[in-house]
Amino acid sequence: MATGYYELTCGEKPRFNLKSANHQVILTSQAYTSKAAAENGIASIQKHACGDDCFERKESKAGQPYFVLKAANGQVIGQSQMYESAAAMEKGIESVKTNGPSTDVREVE
């Protein structure tokens, strides 16, 4: 079964996306100060992506549901896209739970 992967963009402000096996972005990180810090963010998702208590469900000002994934210290590790419905958001959370533990990290320019 195909699994998701991380796409790590290096450069002045490294960041990463967690992508599903069909290459859709399911979680986007903040910009980090170094590649090592971004790699630590990936490691944190690999550790915290399975627990439902690490997901905070939110709603944008426009009324669109989305979620953030938080580390044990409460720091936001990544944010989802905006969804059309709460049910679609829940599917996104399940996708992070499924794909987050992936150890496949692909560096891109």
pLDDT score at 72: 81
Mean pLDDT across the stretch 62-72?
A: 93
In a domain, 88, yes or no: yes
- Residue 47 has what pLDDT? 83
d(CA 56, CA 69): 6
Structural domain includes residue 109? no
Q: What is the mean pLDDT of residues 35-60?
A: 90
Residue 1 predicted with pLDDT over 60:
no
Range of the domain at 78: 5-102
* Residue 108 within any structural domain of the chain: no
What pTM does this model have? Answer: 0.90
Q: What is the CATH number of the domain that holds 70?
A: 2.30.29.80
The model's confidence at residue 74, banded by pLDDT at 50, 70 and 90, is confident
Establish if 79 belongs to a structural domain. Answer: yes
- Is 12 inside a domain boundary? yes
